[in-house]
Amino acid sequence: MAHSLQDRHVLVTGAGSGIGAAIARRLARDGARLTLAGRRAEPLEALAGELGGERAFPLAGFDVTDAQAIAAGLEKARANFGPVSILVNNAGEAPSASFERTSLDLWSKVLAVDLTGVFQVTQAVLPDLKAHGTGARIITIASTAGLTGYAYVSAYCAAKHGVIGLTRALALELARSGITVNAVCPGFTDTPIIARSIETIMQKTGRSAEEALAEFTRSNPQGRLVAPEEVADSVAWLAAPGASAVTGQAIAVAGGEIMAG
């Protein structure tokens, strides 16, 4: 499987760090050509330099909430590597607040990025995927928050549940086209977002780093954070030719926290 994606054009949103960067590294090893999309240039350019210019193109200013930015970005991506045949929707954010303190602005922003952003990017890329046909892929990074509930992230849970619903609906619409549509649902993952959350807990509560970390690992039966590379491996499997019969699925990568029946 070392070159199972040889020269396939993969668009990864939110590619600059964390899970997105891990996915880009993994798919590059499988031979893919990657458009690394995100808002900030510096991390995208650094990752593209690591992967090599012939393998990765940094696409800064790619705002998944802005239809014009998406269209302009796709033009640049196609000019570099041709039509997109694999889309990885990874961009997202997860601010926390109690439901009573969740303002309409916060609610709207989270849904705009985490749900409507997936809709907009997928709809913009879909003509490329349909032209490619069999073997094209839509893979969205959802969350265990799309499969269960968590306190203090009501907007995030709502958005991720919506992403999984969208995944299942689109999988049925595209089933005969040869395009598969799946979601990967990580549990708490060792990313900069979690690192910032741990710092916030320490500052607000005076707890140690170990005590703050325990807030995130207690729900994982393995007692640990998920590694971004483990999420990337699941994406690589779904992107590969051998997963052509897997569609409409929400696959939990969470150490046993979520067990689908």
**In terms of domains, do 157 and 216 share one?**
no
Which amino acid is it at 3?
A: H
**In terms of domains, do 87 and 215 share one?**
no
**In terms of domains, do 220 and 232 share one?**
no
**In terms of domains, do 71 and 106 share one?**
yes
Residue 89 host element (H or E): strand 86-89
The C-alpha angle 62, 93, 36, rounded to 5 degrees, equals 35
**In terms of domains, do 43 and 130 share one?**
yes
Per-residue pLDDT tens over the stretch 77-118 = 999 999 999 999 999 999 889 999 999 999 999 999 999 999
**In terms of domains, do 195 and 87 share one?**
no
**In terms of domains, do 119 and 195 share one?**
no
**In terms of domains, do 102 and 220 share one?**
no
The model carries a pTM of 0.93
**In terms of domains, do 105 and 195 share one?**
no
The domain tally of the chain equals 2
DSSP secondary-structure letter at 252?
E
C-alpha 155/C-alpha 106 separation (Å) is 8
Strands of the sheet containing 9-13, edge to edge, are 56-59, 33-37, 9-13, 86-89, 137-141, 180-186, 250-253
Per-residue pLDDT tens over the stretch 153-183 = 999 999 999 999 999 999 999 999 999 999 9
**In terms of domains, do 45 and 135 share one?**
yes
Name the residues annotated as catalytic: 156
DSSP string computed for 3-48: TTTTT-EEEEESTTSHHHHHHHHHHHHTT-EEEEE-S-HHHHHHHH
Q: Tell me, what CATH number does 91's domain have?
A: 3.40.50.720
**In terms of domains, do 236 and 214 share one?**
no
- pLDDT averaged per 10 residues in sequence order, the chain, 261 residues: 83 96 97 97 97 95 98 98 98 93 97 98 98 97 95 96 98 98 94 83 87 86 94 98 97 90 54
**In terms of domains, do 86 and 195 share one?**
no
Q: Looking at the domain assignment, is residue 260 inside a domain?
A: no
Q: Looking at the domain assignment, is residue 150 inside a domain?
A: yes
Q: Looking at the domain assignment, is residue 79 inside a domain?
A: yes
Domain that holds residue 206: 190-225
